[in-house]
Amino acid sequence: MTTQSDPIAFDVAAIAWDTFHGDGTRSATLVGTREPGVMFSYAFFVPAGMFDGAHFHSSDVHLVVAAGELRLGYGLTLDVSATRRFPQGSFLWVPAGAAHFDGADEDTVIIGTAIGPWTTEYLASSDR
């Protein structure tokens, strides 16, 4: 078991994905838990061609594009043409409650850090 004093590192190619979603995305909690007031980090895989509908998160999230290229846009409905491209190595901060949509043209991995509880709320069921 890892404690806060134990250093850890992750190779993007060797992440042990623990949650698989029907749209081809997958995720893994890397450090911490989503309990209230607890900081945690996670990895999220976005397959090539997948775009997620407009949504927001319950707390701020800090992201690093670890592999591939993330496309991110802000607004109430999915509009792929309104996304900006963030290549590998990019850092992003998405504030709590900011409606946004994202996806990728190539397989992409992002690493995020947030404070629990952390939830995702979709604005229109047809977008997902």
- List of domains in the chain: 22-123 (2.60.120.10)
Q: Outline where DSSP puts E strands in the chain.
A: 19-20, 26-31, 39-46, 51-57, 61-67, 69-74, 84-87, 91-94, 100-103, 108-115, 120-122
CA atoms of 52 and 77, how far apart (whole Å):
10
Which pLDDT does position 61 carry in this prediction?
98
Mean pLDDT by 10 residues, the chain (128 residues): 70 93 94 93 97 96 98 96 98 98 98 95 71
Which residue type is seen at 42?
Y
Q: Which residues pair with 31 in a beta bridge?
A: 41
